[in-house]
Amino acid sequence: MAEASGSGGRIGVPDGGGGKGRRRDTRGWVSTLLSYAGRCRGKMAASVLLSLLSVGAGLVPYYAIYRVLDVVLLGGGWDGVVPWLVVAVVAHVATRLLFAGSTLLSHISAYTILADLRYDVARKLMRASLGTATSKGVGSLKNLLVDRIESIEVPLAHMIPELTGNLLLSLGILAWLWAVDWRMALACAATVPVGFLVFASGFASYNRMYAGYMEASDHVNSVMVEYIEGIRVVKAFNQTSGSYRRYADAVRAFRDYTLGWFKATWVTQNLALAVIPTTLLGVVPAGLALYLEGSLDAAQFALCCVLALAVVMPVTYLGASFNVANNVSYAIADAREFLDLPELPQPSARADVRGRGLVFEGVCFSYGEGRDEVLHGVDLEVGEGEFLALVGPSGSGKSTIARLVARHWDVTAGSVRIGGRDVRDMPLDQLSELVSYVSQDDYLLAGTLLDNVRLGRPGATDEEVLAAARAASCEEFVSRLPQGWQTPAGEAGHALSGGERQRICIARAILKDAPIVVFDEATAFADPQNEARIQASVAHLARGKTLVVIAHRLSTITGADQIAVVSEGAIVARGTHEQLLEGCELYRGMWQAHVGASSWAAGSRGAAGASEASDKKGDDRSC
């Protein structure tokens, strides 16, 4: 908050946790910041103007002191003193008012900038592909949007008006001294280079140490996050009475780093901070010498002393802003990691889509430049109204294939076409009308349960919404809730099971009624009753649609028109269940594992079925 930063803060507070230690690119942070500052140019300019005026008014009391000294020392009377006292009081009051106006305006601008930064990051996430937008994880997004961006407010609000003000104030005072006698100006400024020389000796490693500090701080925070999120494991496994070593090690390493760094800089930092503000060190002897020589009179000498003291405050401030700037540059670099995410290009004109068939042609994909390719030339064709199932070991790429239909990423080569048109040639709105993507981590938004279903088609009537909900067999559990359909999703989230939440999401998709449905089957079994209802509602959703299912349980999809077996990023076989059982070793192995897995039981007595299945494992991939 106000002025808290300038008061000799040694280092910026590295707020918040999360995020792995990583190298940040802090170049160009000033221009990023200025482009944001440009949006509230008027207020910023007013703030700087008020700050300059307050600096000007702030010089007046020093002149008044000089005049009072002049009057008293040279034998004037009380009458000569009083007007200058009045002038000083008025000037002080004016300075305070102008300065208050300036800081208030700059704070308002700074908070506008902060809000803009946050909006822009959020909008960016909306425009980037889903895969890109979610690649960094919620932890680092939260850390950035809440803590890091907040941490730049104080420096931001104070830097622009006050940095300008203090810089000009220092220069103004020096100019005034120069006007009295140029040698006095030099004498006054003499401590600054001396002090900075001392500083520089300790400063060379500053950036490296600061980066190390930020990294250690990130690390200790992420270890603490881990410790708390994994507390159940910590409790269950950590038998020793001492604390968990990794946690304690991280905490101690951070302490040692911080203390080591501080101790290493104490001598130079304190020496510099003792030398720089002692402007009188040059001014008093030089002034006396010049007085003795006759080029300075007593009152001028006094004025020089007053000005030498007046320059201390702004010069100290300038030194402190160094540290602050570093913290801001880090926060901006963090924000830019998000602001610079690539957007998903989309045309504005709707594409002419013929039919609802789906084609993958030579699709290759990797999660980014320089990353390993995860799909290698995938070809698939699903006719309108057909049912395709994707099966394969975990990590084989089947979910990625399905998500490319919904354009969660763009392919790196080849194309994904709906009704003959590349998904990249249609606006995202049109694509979302064509495709419903339903997965196990679909999410309820703030708002009531009814609102959540209605999101599928905002124009739908209550009857239509309830009909969709009935089709997804939501009614039975919603009627259990005291507020029924009006229950806020947040509260309902605790009251509903995962399976029940998923049924709400399926109802949403039923209401949306898109002609192509991509369904990523939940890997976890809900309890059997829930499971049966989910299956019924998916069957309802899929009726008459082009359907793509990512199957984890093969029994679900034995009736598919076409089953594609995915292994290591390529389609290794296609056909019906019977055809594949016959002709694909991998599929047969998976099927047997699936059947075998169902007959396992806890305890060694039940392992027979499982070990039988494991015999087949050796030639699993030979298909």
Window 89 to 148, contacts with another protein (CB under 8 A): 89, 92-93, 95-97, 99-100, 103-104, 107-108, 111-112, 114-115, 118-119, 122-123, 125-126, 130, 133-134, 137-139, 141-142, 145-147
Among 24, 40, 63, 153, binds another protein (CB under 8 A): 153
Among 244, 323, 410, 570, binds another protein (CB under 8 A): 244
Query: In this chain, which stretch among 159-167, 177-185, 355-363, 424-432 interacts with another protein, using CB under 8 A?
Result: 424-432
CA distances from 529 to 521, 526, 534 (A): 16, 8, 9
597 makes contact with another protein (CB under 8 A): yes
Sheet harboring 373-382: ordered strands across?
373-382, 358-366, 413-418, 421-422
Sites for another protein among residues 259-288 (CB under 8 A): 259, 262-263, 266-267, 270-271, 273-275, 278, 280-281, 283-285, 287-288
Encode burial over 69-98: b for 16+ CB neighbours within 10 A, e otherwise: bbbeeeeeeeeebeebeebbeebeebbeeb
Residue 45 binds another protein (CB under 8 A): no
Shortest Cβ distance from residue 298 to another protein (Å)?
Answer: 4
Which residues in the 493-552 window bind another protein by CB under 8 A? 497-499, 508, 512, 523-532, 535, 538-539, 542, 547, 549, 552
* Closer by beta carbon to another protein, 470 or else 594: 594
74 token code pair: 């040279």
| Pairwise CA distance, residues 502 & 541, whole Å | 13
What are the angstrom distances between the C-alpha of 180 and each of 62, 284, 299, 570? 14, 15, 11, 83
**Residue 344 near residue 410 (C-beta atoms within 8 A):** yes
Nearer to another protein (CB atom), residue 73 or residue 171 = 73
Is 349 a residue that touches another protein (CB under 8 A)? Answer: no
Binding mask 164-193 for another protein (x = CB under 8 A): ------------------------------
Are the CB atoms for 457 and 510 separated by under 8 Å? no
Tell which one of 248, 295, 352, 483 touches another protein (CB under 8 A).
248
Can residue 374 be called a binding residue for another protein (CB under 8 A)?
no
Binding of residue 464 to another protein (CB under 8 A): no
Residue with smaller CB distance to another protein, 27 or 479: 479
- Does 483 help bind another protein (rule: CB under 8 A)? no
367 binds another protein (CB under 8 A): no
- d(CA 564, CA 574) in angstroms, rounded, equals 5
What tokens appear for 25 in the block?
Answer: 């690119």
476 binds another protein (CB under 8 A): no
Q: Residue 231's CB: how many other CB atoms inside 10 A?
A: 11
2 binds another protein (CB under 8 A): yes
Q: What share of the chain is helix, strand, coil (3-state, %, to 5)?
A: 65, 10, 25
What one-character-per-residue DSSP string does 289-327 give?
HHHHHTSS-HHHHHHHHHHHHHTHHHHHHHHHHHHHHHH
**Residues 113, 47: contact at Cβ < 8 Å?**
no
Tokens 């009251």 -> residue: 495
> How many angstroms separate the Cα of 335 from the Cα of each of 61, 118, 399?
43, 9, 30
Site for another protein in 67-86 (CB under 8 A): 68-69, 71-75, 77-78, 81-82, 85
Residue number, 373 or 386, with CB nearest to another protein:
386
Q: How far is the CB of 446 from another protein (least distance, A)?
A: 5
Site membership for another protein, residue 376 (CB under 8 A): no
- At its nearest, how many Å lie between another protein and the CB of residue 599? 6
How far is 197 from 539, CA to CA, in rounded Å?
A: 77
Report the residue number, 315 or 538, with the smaller CB distance to another protein: 538
Residue 170 or 361 with smaller CB distance to another protein: 170
Q: Judged by CB under 8 A, does residue 213 bind another protein?
A: no
Out of 135, 164, 258, 346, the residue judged to bind another protein by CB under 8 A: 258
Beta-ladder partners of 518: 437, 548
Q: Which class for 601: exposed (0-12), middle (13-18), buried (19 or more C-beta within 10 A)?
A: exposed
CA atoms within 13 Å, Cβ hemisphere of 273 = 16
Which range touches another protein (CB under 8 A), out of 162-170, 205-213, 239-247, 409-417? Answer: 239-247
Tell me which of 553, 570, 576, 579 binds another protein, using CB under 8 A.
553
The whole-angstrom separation of Cα 101 and Cα 21 is 40
- Site membership for another protein, residue 479 (CB under 8 A): no
Confirm or reject binding of residue 395 to another protein (CB under 8 A): yes
Give 3 or 340: the residue with its C-beta nearer to another protein.
3
135, 346, 366, 558: which one contacts another protein (CB under 8 A)?
558
Among 348, 394, 463, 615, binds another protein (CB under 8 A): 394
Minimum distance of another protein from residue 323's CB (angstroms): 12
Q: How far apart are the C-alpha atoms of 375 and 364, rounded to whole Å? A: 5
Tokens, residue 491: 């509260």
| 246 lies in the site for another protein, by CB under 8 A | yes
By CB under 8 A, is residue 366 in contact with another protein?
no
> 318 and 402 in contact (C-beta within 8 Å)?
no
Is residue 414 within 8 A of residue 377, CB to CB? The reply is yes
**Residue 601 binds another protein, judged by CB under 8 A:** yes
